[in-house]
Structure 1
Amino acid sequence: MKIGLLAYHAACNFGAFLQLLSTVEYIKKQGDEPMVINWIPKDFSKDYEKRSLLKVRDLYVRMRKQYYPMTELCETDKQVAKVIEKERIEAVIIGSDAVIQHHPLRERIHFPCKRIIYIGHPTSDRMYPNSFWGAFNRYLDHPVPIAVISGSSQDSMYYFIKGRTKSRMKQSILEFRYVSVRDDWAQKMVAYLTDGEMIPEVTPDPVFAFNHNASHLVPFKEDIIKKFNIPENYILLSFKGEKSVNQAWINEFQELANKNGLVCVKLPYADASAFGDIQYTAGDTISPLEWYALIKYSKGYVGNNMHPIVTSIANGVPFYCFDNYGIPKIDGQWTNGESSKIYHILSTADLLKYRVFISGQDYSPTSAPAVMDAILSFDAVKEKAFAARYYQSYLNMMIQVLNQLKK
């Protein structure tokens, strides 16, 4: 079966690249033919050109050409439909990633701010309807079956979606052959939009299965150590700006690491350098596979973002997360970031003690000694047991997906 894949394949993002590559390799192993649908809306492209470096975009273009079987460029839902017909694609898998987003007007109004009032204008990939919601099927004489895997809503304030938009979104969801989500927040969103007719299962991000699906693509440890000129025993630090910790915190943590026979390495983001003056650095522009390998072979990860945590868990690596996701206030009440996709994963794994929510009320960073103690005394047994359970959950999801698409 020829299966089209729709995801954030054009994003300059480590996690987005790896989760799609994991799906590509899984489908190949099942004897089916994956084909990444090269859907890149114009406003998405323009947005990325504004906020990412040319050398980073060029790197990801090369990576996509090397690792993805890909269609010609599509910029609209109608062009996606034409490509599906031209390539004789028989079914489509959407996800994983933040593919079920919609941000209602109430959410996009910011007040007060420098302009007194500001209304955000998300790119079309983040607003219903679009190809992530199956909008291409209305242009096909013979609509194809669609599955959504481990979809996320990126903290969409779904409870403000009302009226005709809500009704249309309900119809779109119920037309899918299969739907699963990545976290509790997205599950609540789907349940709300469908008036309880669908409560999708929460399923793993495909990066949890990367070692099983694409281990042959991961660089060897000795090659990583040599390329980045780093000692063998290292801990990765990766912070977005100074909101999580300051330089004094980093200095204290590095001293503690050195006392324990470790060095600290700064791990970059896909399109930006990480914060801080750190002993060693992995540079500013690295490939997603190098990024994955750096975490896989490390003695620990400390920092922001979800996919470093996913990669750590999948590889039995200790971590401490400064969670930068989640809605800090709902109905005027402070939260602990329960809408965060990291919160869901760590809550399910019973590993929340290795997390602090940086947008919470009166946030204060966990002390450097406490974080170091957490890394050195990390519950590896619990982490590995959870990774095994989540991999089995991933397999169950993919079996259901292929069965539904081949009905």
Structure 2
Amino acid sequence: MKIGILTFYRVANFGANLQALSTYSYLCKHGHEVVFLEYVSFQTVWLRLVSYYKNFIKPKRSYLQLAEHFKFIDNNMKEQIPHLLTADRVRNAIKKHGIDAVIIGSDAVVQNWPLFSTLKLGKRRPYWIEPLPSERRYPNPFWGYGFSDIIPTAMMSVSSQNSKYQKFSRYMLKRMGKSLKRLKYISVRDAWTKDMMLAAGPELSIDITPDPVFALNQNVGEKIPLEEDIRNRFVLPDKYVLIGMRTQILSIPFLEALNDAMRIEGKECVAFPIDGAMAFSHPFKHSISIPLSPLDWYALIKYSAGYVGSNMHPIVSSLANGVPCYSLDNWGSTNFWGKKENNASSKVFDILKQYGLENNWAQIENNVCNVTVNEIVKRLKEYPIEQVITISKVRYAKYEKMMQDIIESLFGR
């Protein structure tokens, strides 16, 4: 069968590339033909052009990393239908290319941000409205809009990126519920998204399922570089802990103290790029340079003695491999004043909670993370590796059942 995948995949993001590859590889190994549908709005196309231009005029290394992401996608995901700018174009592409079914996800594809929630408090101006592309507003093709009435469609481990569903109007929730009821199968990545879906359709059957990167070893194992190869190419210390941040969350003195504390434990800190860039300064002797392949990025985590830093997929990659990790969490909803709300909306916290690792987490507030060096070192040292490995095996079994349920729901077998 020919299956269309609708997700964020052609982006400069290691995790997004890897979750797409994991799904692609699973389906191909089970005898399906796979084609990626790149739904992207006019606004996003324009923003990308601006971003690409900036990369051209930045240091060459930044542009080379962007090119590395695209090379990885084109080398590994052979069939793509790019630049589908509207729901009508997605629908027409499905018909034209003879696609038998569509899987939406995984990723933060079911977002909806009403106008009030885009109102932000600014420092230079009293307030401003954050412009959002149609990919982040209902309805759009990520909800099956425009095609789920003509072709079997499933949602796989999708996320709402902590959209404030409690503020949605009854009319909006009713419309969302109608869209969701057209789908053959729905699973979500976190409890917050499940609650949002149930607010739209209380009778819906929705399960919380793993991100596809949890199954990368099983789906793409033959492509993941070996440890000896990684160590030789990157000239790594014997035991290294990766430090990755989107911005300068931790100060240079803090990182110096952290490195000293890690050395006492027989480990060495190594600076690690996030979202395709090295966006922070550091005092470490070792640093992973870019351009960097997404599979090398994953392997570096897999063979490490620990990960400390931002984003979800480094945490997922750590958990999947029993690697000690500590999250400096940039996710979670904020109020009008830009302050984080203590409502368990963070997708990273949700994942760590499933492992009983709530203490291996600290929230970032206004680009500051109030955590101590001793706390990070303690949590890495006391990390329950065997417990994590056991839970990851259970999560992989859940992933396998999810994929089987999706195929059965789409093709009745």
- 2:71 equivalent in structure 1: 62
CA distance in 2, matches of 1:113, 1:249: 27
Give the CA deviation at 1:165. 3.0
More divergent stretch after superposition (89-98 vs 326-335): 326-335
- 1:304 equivalent in structure 2: 310
Output the amino acid matched with 1:37. L
- 1:385 equivalent in structure 2: 390
- 2:119 equivalent in structure 1: 109
- 2:32 equivalent in structure 1: 32
User: Identity over aligned residues, as a percent?
Assistant: 33
TM alignment of 1:160-239, pairs within 5 A: 160-194=167-201, 196-239=202-245
CA distance in 2, matches of 1:262, 1:272: 24
More divergent stretch after superposition (322-331 vs 228-237): 322-331
CA distance in 2, matches of 1:20, 1:322: 25
More divergent stretch after superposition (12-21 vs 116-125): 116-125
The question of whether the paired residues in 1 share the 8 Å contact of 2:335 and 2:341 is answered with: yes
- Please report the TM-score for the alignment, with normalisation by the length of structure 1: 0.93
Output the amino acid matched with 2:66. R
CA distance in 1, matches of 2:292, 2:339: 40
CA change 1:14–1:112 in 2 (3 A) is closer
RMSD after superposition: 2.2
> How many equivalent pairs are there?
401
- Please report the TM-score for the alignment, with normalisation by the length of structure 2: 0.91
The match for 2:294 among 288, 292, 295 is 288
- State the SS of the aligned residue for 2:193: helix
CA distance in 1, matches of 2:236, 2:143: 44
The question of whether the paired residues in 1 share the 8 Å contact of 2:240 and 2:306 is answered with: yes
Give the CA deviation at 1:261. 2.2
In structure 1, stretches of 5+ residues that fail to align are none
CA distance in 2, matches of 1:43, 1:147: 26
The question of whether the paired residues in 2 share the 8 Å contact of 1:337 and 1:357 is answered with: no
Output the amino acid matched with 2:271. K
In structure 2, stretches of 5+ residues that fail to align are 56-62
- State the SS of the aligned residue for 1:82: helix
CA distance in 1, matches of 2:377, 2:37: 44
Output the amino acid matched with 1:235. V
Give the CA deviation at 1:56. 3.0
The question of whether the paired residues in 1 share the 8 Å contact of 2:108 and 2:160 is answered with: yes
The question of whether the paired residues in 2 share the 8 Å contact of 1:10 and 1:40 is answered with: no
The question of whether the paired residues in 1 share the 8 Å contact of 2:87 and 2:145 is answered with: yes
Give the CA deviation at 1:49. 3.6
More divergent stretch after superposition (332-341 vs 215-224): 332-341
Output the amino acid matched with 1:152. S
